Amino acid sequence: MKDKRKGLLQIILVIAVIIFCGYTTLVGLTKHHTGSAQNIRLGLDLAGGVSITYETVKDNPTQTEMNDTIRKMQKRAEVYSTESSVVQEGNNRVVIDIPGAEDADEVLKAMGKAGALEFVAEDDITFDDNGKPKYDKVVCTGSDVKNSQAGTSQDTMKNKEYVVDLTFTDKGAKKFADATAEAAPSHKRIYIIYDGEILSEPTVESEITDGKAQISGSFTTYEEADELASGIRIGALPLELKEIQSQVVGAQLGQDAIQTSLLAGAIGFALVVIFMLIFYRLPGLAASIALLMYLVVMLVSLNVLNITLTLPGVAGIILNIGMAVDANVIIFTRIKEELAKGKSVQTSIKLGFEKALSAIVDGNVTTLIAAAILYLKGSGTVKGFATTLAIGIILSMFTALFITRILLKAMYALGVDDVKYFGIEKQRKTIDFVKHRVKFFIISGALIVACFAVMIWNQSSRIGNILNYGLDFLGGTTYNITFDAGQKLDGDLKRDVEKIFSDISGSNDVVISDVSGANQLSVKTVEMTDAQRAELTSTLVKTFDVKESNIQWQSISAAVSDEMKQDAIVAVVIAAICMLLYIWFRFKDIMFAGSAVLALLHDVLVVLLLYAVSKISVGNTFIACMLTIVGYSINATIVIFDRIRENLGGKRNKEAIANLVNESITQTLSRSINTSLTTFFMVFMLALLGVDSVKDFAIPLLVGIVCGAYSSVCITGTLWYSLKCLRIKKKAA
């Protein structure tokens, strides 16, 4: 029984929510434009922020002292934004870039605290309802700690145990001695707190008077002890810093990058909507409305959660548009299949959602697992990407499974119930993918071998590295160019400056930003020789009539530290293992999991081949690009595996399994092609209209999308078949 009133009310409610969220995004809810897109925190690459330069009071600090100081300041800076960057400049300077910040004085006040590491006696501490420590009195601070190292010792039973050895300064030793003298008789604890988080709470066994303390008894591995020791070292700033410059800087990618990216996104979204309407008719309209809702709710969520949006974050949103479309495509394909079997429209809608559920949930959960691991283990850009990806996954699942369903049922209730509005899945001739599997494996193998060969060639050639690492990975030089007051720093001038730097340095890795309150540009580029610097200075003087004394430069360290690289690699490895375990658990067959992970590795290596051959600069966006490809590819693979699992039944011989693999891939082929096309539209427009830095991100992503579609269709299913046959052969033997 159709309820037209209920159907109309449901459509009105959905549209009302979209209008409300859209209004909030465009205008905001208060006079301060709360919730509007203009209040979304943008990263340094998109909107600029505060840049602070510190110099050490000590004349010749050691590199270890500088590294520890940078790690400490990175932790502090991430309180403002996970996208903050801390790099070494010269031998004794630290430059901190904090996106989204506008008040340099406020940032300086927080960043310049003497020590966020504090030791608090048990009697002086309480906890609020959320378990956060509250106290007014401290035993000593991070400035009182001289060193902290992990080590090994022997307990009373002569067993080896892991410990953390602390060494205090002279002043710190006196303070700590007094505190331990009071705590020792009752064996009370002293809490070690860094930025409001408890690192450790060791019990005081005896008075410590020599300024050397040891924490023991709570570590099961050396790594746990080393983690605490590192946390204490980070909390104890080893070098005294003085601020020598603070400035508000403009967007590193420039206003052009933002405008062209928005235009590309709008055109790409329009193409997706047109495609969905043409190919899926009425369901395509429902999906387009749900997709619009995803976008506006996503923007509101970025506001509510106060997330800093950078170019990699935009990539996460783009990926989720593709995944939101993907979920709808899976559902609509199922509906058309049921209609082809002669089922009614109402029954087909119901069965379409039911049969698509497992593939959608499994595909999104595997990507969500990856996002969670990347957030927990990653830092900086990786964490920002993981945040937008995770939010997008949840929202895309909600809009596809809930909003699209409401809209389709409502439209049906209003009388739009003719099969012609939905379409019927045409019977396709089964393609024999299994027969050609060796050809697919040879093609993929050749691409992988080529990847390693080109990287080895790059390593031995003038590049000197397997890839063309850019500023973020290798560091380089930063120039501050002060122009005459009458010189307008418009887009044309910036493009001219960028061309001069690119031509002389031989690298397109040039980042330009305005300096607020000064007619000055800050330019970051790769390291140059003395001759190149001399030529650059001469060219700038002649071209723009600037004084040579107004051109200042300093060497800078890599923005992506070794620790951040390690975190990213560890995060990806753990994410891959967790995805493998989840797929193994859900599909009850490790060969499904193994095939999926091998296909992911294949996609990553093919995109690496593009980077190696094209010499595209490898920076922060490289990490985001690779993570996007991993998330996208695994989702496509799950859909095919879900259909294989559904069709498998009790089939046990090679011929029957080969047929079911071919049938399953053929049945999901339209989904694989259509989803790839819709995502391709979005990214292609970025590659077509974007500025160079955006293109350097979009082009590898396009290759990843194509490669992901190829591996999902041609590799994963046939690889699973090959592994399955090996098992059958082994059992027979």
For residue 308, which phi and psi values (nearest 5 degrees)?
-85, 125
Which residues lie below 8 Å from residue 704, measured CB to CB, with a gap of 6+?
Answer: 603, 606, 607, 625, 628, 629, 632, 633
Same structural domain, 229 and 267: no
Does residue 614 sit within a domain?
yes
Res 730 pLDDT > 70: yes
Query: Which residue range forms the structural domain that includes residue 279?
Result: 4-26+253-421
307-331 average pLDDT score: 72
Same structural domain, 442 and 344: no
Residue 327 has, within 13 A of its CA and on its CB side, a CA count of 35
Residue 449's pLDDT band, with cuts at 50, 70 and 90, is very high
**Model's pTM, two decimal places?**
0.69
CATH number at residue 493: 3.30.70
Does residue 366 sit within a domain?
yes
Res 559 pLDDT > 90: no
3-state secondary structure of 583: helix
371-391 average pLDDT score: 74
What's the whole-number average pLDDT of the chain?
81
Same structural domain, 443 and 592: yes
Same structural domain, 332 and 409: yes
Q: What is the pLDDT of residue 448?
A: 94
Q: Which two tokens stand for residue 190?
A: 């002293």
673-681 average pLDDT score: 84
Same structural domain, 415 and 480: no
Identify which of 286, 578, 539 has the alpha carbon closest to the alpha carbon of residue 412: 286
56-82 average pLDDT score: 78
Q: What percent of the chain has pLDDT over 90?
A: 12
Same structural domain, 261 and 306: yes
Residue 454's pLDDT band, with cuts at 50, 70 and 90, is very high
For residue 89, which phi and psi values (nearest 5 degrees)?
-120, 120
Q: What is the pLDDT of residue 121?
A: 93
Q: What percent of the chain has pLDDT over 70?
A: 85
Identify which of 656, 637, 669, 665 has the alpha carbon closest to the alpha carbon of residue 725: 656
Same structural domain, 717 and 644: yes
How far apart CA 204 and CA 121 sit, in angstroms, is 10
Does residue 463 sit within a domain?
no
Does residue 37 sit within a domain?
no
Does residue 699 sit within a domain?
yes
Res 73 pLDDT > 70: yes
Same structural domain, 282 and 158: no
Res 697 pLDDT > 80: no
Residue 267's pLDDT band, with cuts at 50, 70 and 90, is confident
Kindly report the three-state secondary structure assignment for every residue of 675-710.
HHHHHHHHHHHHHHHCCHHHHHHHHHHHHHHHHHHH
3-state secondary structure of 60: coil
Please report, for residues 471, 554, 593, 619, 693, the alpha-carbon distance to residue 508 in angstroms, rounded to integers and kept in the order given: 10, 19, 40, 12, 9
Does residue 151 sit within a domain?
yes
Domain total of the chain: 5
Helix-helix angle 654-667:620-648, to 10 degrees: 120
Q: What is the pLDDT of residue 48?
A: 67
Q: What is the pLDDT of residue 429?
A: 86
Identify which of 89, 95, 85 has the alpha carbon closest to the alpha carbon of residue 53: 95
Residue 596's pLDDT band, with cuts at 50, 70 and 90, is confident
458-479 average pLDDT score: 77
Summarize pLDDT for 339-350 with one digit per residue, the tens. Answer: 888 888 889 989
Q: What is the pLDDT of residue 663?
A: 92
Residue 719 has, within 13 A of its CA and on its CB side, a CA count of 27
Q: Which two tokens stand for residue 642?
A: 């879900």
How far apart CA 612 and CA 468 sit, in angstroms, is 7
392-421 average pLDDT score: 86
Res 46 pLDDT > 50: yes
Same structural domain, 627 and 711: yes
CATH number at residue 134: 3.30.1360.200
Same structural domain, 589 and 443: yes
681-696 average pLDDT score: 78
Least confident of 114-118, 498-502, 525-529: 114-118
Least confident of 186-200, 239-253, 588-602, 613-627: 239-253
* Higher pLDDT among residues 72 and 500, named by residue: 500
Choose one of 197, 228, 249: the last residue of a domain: 249
Q: Tell me the helix, strand and coil percentages in the chain, rounded to 5.
A: 60, 15, 25
CATH number at residue 97: 3.30.70.3400
Q: What is the pLDDT of residue 614?
A: 87
Q: Are 252 and 509 spatial neighbours (Cβ–Cβ below 8 Å)?
A: no
Q: What is the pLDDT of residue 191?
A: 93
Identify which of 332, 321, 391, 389 has the alpha carbon closest to the alpha carbon of residue 359: 332
Choose one of 529, 556, 583: the last residue of a domain: 556
Res 537 pLDDT > 80: yes
Q: Which residue has the tokens 């939010």?
A: 391
Q: What is the pLDDT of residue 114?
A: 44
Q: What is the pLDDT of residue 610?
A: 92
Residue 315's pLDDT band, with cuts at 50, 70 and 90, is low
5-26 average pLDDT score: 85
Does residue 427 sit within a domain?
no
Does residue 41 sit within a domain?
no
Res 246 pLDDT > 60: yes
CATH number at residue 297: 1.20.1640.10
Same structural domain, 215 and 285: no
Identify which of 443, 512, 438, 430 has the alpha carbon closest to the alpha carbon of residue 478: 512
For residue 557, which phi and psi values (nearest 5 degrees)?
-80, 175
Choose one of 556, 577, 592: the last residue of a domain: 556
Q: Which two tokens stand for residue 419?
A: 């099969």
289-297 average pLDDT score: 87
Q: Are 636 and 669 spatial neighbours (Cβ–Cβ below 8 Å)?
A: no
Same structural domain, 259 and 373: yes
Q: Which two tokens stand for residue 244?
A: 């020598």
Residue 439's pLDDT band, with cuts at 50, 70 and 90, is very high
* Count of CB atoms situated within 10 Å of the CB of 127: 11
How far apart CA 392 and CA 127 sit, in angstroms, is 35
Res 186 pLDDT > 70: yes
Q: Are 396 and 361 spatial neighbours (Cβ–Cβ below 8 Å)?
A: no
* Higher pLDDT among residues 310 and 220, named by residue: 220
Pairing assessment for the beta strands 190-194 and 197-200 based on DSSP bridges: antiparallel
Residue 516's pLDDT band, with cuts at 50, 70 and 90, is low
Residue 180's pLDDT band, with cuts at 50, 70 and 90, is very high
Identify which of 90, 94, 89, 57 has the alpha carbon closest to the alpha carbon of residue 72: 94
